[in-house]
Amino acid sequence: MSSLQTLIFYATPEHDCSYLEGKKATTMFVDPRAKINKDLYSKLSVLGFRRSGNHYYRPHCGQCQECIPIRLPVNSFTPSRNQKRNLKKNIGIETSITPPEFYQKHYDLYEKYIIARHSDGDMYPPNEEQYRSFLVECNPGTFFLEFKYKGELIGVSVIDELIDGLSSVYTYFDPASSDRSLGVFSILWQIEECKRRALNHLYLGYWIKNCRKMEYKTLYKPVEFLINGQWTLYNPDKTI
């Protein structure tokens, strides 16, 4: 089994940034041949790495430090009024955990979601091979969370369990259910699931100050940013 001391890392050539127009990005990847267990994955997460399929990565841009790892200390979380309203709105939703396998009903929902919501992104057009490599190929601690309303599947979240928390990998849903804000509902569910499992943190990926797609992550309070190697409580009044 690999360890932090034995891992080999690779950096990609510069490419167009997916989040900031006109910016170039470089990504650092863990050697895909490395064997990553929950303990090592947890240590990588504390260092700001994320998982996509069987790849573990983090931004490694020489001239830009805009991508900041973000996590939520769940035991300090206090829901806002809007978040409480979201919970009330979704009282009728049933949730269930399933193994991380390929389900045709999941893929059909994913395809519908990408076409409707991300036709301008690098996941469009969706296809089964891309879906499998992105979400079905996973870590041993991965599970799928299904959202159903009146027996119909309306959303899925892909979640990883770490030593100290959960990592929110991806959520997709039926565009016809957009008014339910299932992305918000999923995060609120994951916060409570962390507490049920006696885990301290929910890892939310990266936050970028000037990216509107990332703004929602600081609506869960309090959150911590990884800055200069230290997890620090976010202070909206302090310049980052």
Residue-by-residue pLDDT tens, the chain, 240 positions: 788 999 999 999 999 998 888 899 999 999 999 999 999 999 999 999 999 999 999 999 988 999 999 999 999 999 999 999 999 999 999 999 999 999 999 999 999 999 999 888 788 899 999 999 999 999 889 999 999 999 999 999 999 999 999 999 999 999 999 999 999 999 999 999 999 999 999 999 999 998 888 989 999 999 999 999 999 999 876 656
Cα(227)–Cα(9) distance, rounded to whole angstroms? 21
Residue 134 is classified by DSSP as: I
Inside any domain, residue 78: no
Q: How many CB atoms lie within 10 A of CB 203?
A: 25
pLDDT reported for residue 237: 66
Residue 67 is classified by DSSP as: -
* Half-sphere exposure (Cβ direction) of 115: Cα atoms closer than 13 Å: 10
Look up residue 109 and give its two tokens. Answer: 């929902």
The Cα diameter of the chain in Å comes to 50
CA distances to 83, 105, 111, 113, 124 from 118, in Å: 24, 19, 10, 8, 7
Say whether pTM exceeds 0.75: yes
Inside any domain, residue 59: yes
pLDDT reported for residue 126: 96
Look up residue 129 and give its two tokens. Answer: 């091979």
Q: Which of 194, 147, 143, 144 is nearest to 166 (CA)?
A: 194
Q: How many domains does the chain have?
A: 1
pLDDT reported for residue 239: 59
Inside any domain, residue 43: yes
Q: Which of 85, 101, 49, 72 is nearest to 187 (CA)?
A: 72
Cα(159)–Cα(169) distance, rounded to whole angstroms? 5
Query: What is the domain range of residue 30?
Result: 9-66
Contact indicator for 73, 128 with CB cutoff of 8 Å = no
Q: How many CB atoms lie within 10 A of CB 38?
A: 14
pLDDT reported for residue 68: 97
